[in-house]
Amino acid sequence: MKVRVGIGIGEFPADARPWFDAVLDACERLNIDSIWLSQRLRDRYLSPFVAISYAAARTTRLKLGTSVVVLPGTNPVLMAEAMASIAVLAPRRFLPVFGLGPAYQQDRGAFPVSSRGRGHDFDESLVVVRRLLEAGGRTASATDSAAASDAAESSGGGHSGIDIEAGRIRLSGFVLAPQPDPPLDLWVGGRAPAALRRAGRLADGWLGSGVPPSEAEAAVRLVQQAAAEAGRVVDPEHFGMTIPWTATPGGRDAFLAARRGGGPAPGGVPVGWQQLRELLDAYIAGGLSKFVVRPVEAGAHLLPWLDEFAAEVLPLQT
C-alpha cells in the first residue's frame, strides 16, 4: 500500500491570505502530500472550492482535498462544473470527498432537503455528478445506472450528450466541458452503516473521521462487502481517516468537549507524535492507507507545527 499523510486546515486567522500563502509555501517546501479543507458555514473557514482554486494557482505539486463538502441539497450540475474546472486546471491534484450534512445541525437549513430525503438526495446527486464528470471518460458501472432510477441519465435520442432528470434538474443532450482527464475519483465520508454501504455502492473511496482502528477495519470490510454485492470493486488503496491531533491532554479534552455529539472516541485523538505514529500503524494494519492529520490548535500555531509534522510523520510514508 502507498501510505500518504496530509494535513487538515481548520479555522483561518484574521490575516487569512498571508497566513494561507505561508502554509501553502511551507507544504510545498516540506513535500507534504496534501492539504484538506472542510466546509463550515458559521466558523472562520474559507469556502473549500474557492480556497482550493487559490491553492492550486500558488502550488505545483501539492494535492488538494475536501473533507468534506456537503452534497445533498446542492445543485449537482453546478457542483460537477466547479469540480471539473478545478481538476482541469490542477490535473491529478484534486481529491473531492462528500458528506451527508453540515457539521452543525442548525446549518441544515442552508441545504434545502428534508432529513428523511437526505440519503436519497445524496445518492441521486452523486450519480449525476459522476455521470457528468465521466461523460467523456471511463464508463459508469451498471450499479451507477441502477442507483439512478430517479435520475434518468441516458445517451440516446440522437445527440451526443446525456439527459438528466433528477429532482428539479432537467437537462437534455448535456455535455460538461472540458472534462477532467483522468476522471476524478469521488470519495465519501460518514460512519454509519448506511454511509459505508453508500461508499461501496456508489463511491471510489471512503474517508472516515476520528473512528477508532477496530471500527475502521470493520468499516473497510462493510464498504467492500457492499461494493461486491453491487458488482463493483473499491480500490484497496482508497480508504483513509481524518485524525485530530493535539500536543496535550488538555487540548484533547477541550476538543472532545466541543465536538458535536460527544465526538470521536478518545483513542481517536492522539496526544503527541508517538501516539500519532502508533495510531497510524494500527489503521494501516486495518487496511487504511490515506490520512489527514488535523491539529486541533489551529491558526498561527500551524506554521511551526508543519516542520515538526514533516520530521515526525512523513518518514512513515511508503
- The pLDDT tens digits for 266-315 are 557 999 999 999 999 999 999 999 999 999 986 778 999 999 999 999 99
- Stretch 220-228: mean pLDDT: 98
pLDDT at 276: 97
Which of 198, 188, 288, 276 lies closest to 240, judged by CA?
288
Grid cell for residue 170: 432537467
The predicted structure's pLDDT at residue 266: 53
154 contacts 131 by C-beta, under 8 angstroms: no
What is the per-residue pLDDT for 231? 98
Average pLDDT over residues 197-218: 96
- The three cell numbers of residue 173 are 443532450
Which range has the worst mean pLDDT, 47-51, 172-176, 231-235? 172-176
Q: How confident is the model at residue 143 (pLDDT cuts 50, 70, 90)?
A: very low
Judge whether residue 117 has pLDDT over 70: yes
* 82-105 confidence digits (pLDDT tens): 999 999 999 999 999 999 998 888
Instruction: Enumerate domains of the chain plus CATH numbers.
Output: 4-316 (3.20.20.30)
Angle between helices 118-133 and 193-202 (to 10 degrees): 20
State the cell numbers at 62.
501539492
Strands 205-209 and 239-245: parallel
pTM of the model: 0.90
pLDDT digits (tens, 9 = 90+) for 156-201: 334 468 898 888 889 899 999 999 998 999 999 999 999 999 999 9
More reliable by pLDDT, 147 or 318: 318
In this structure, are residues 239 and 287 in contact, taking their beta carbons and an 8 Å threshold? yes
Higher pLDDT, 128 or 103: 128
The DSSP bridge partners found for residue 94 are 64
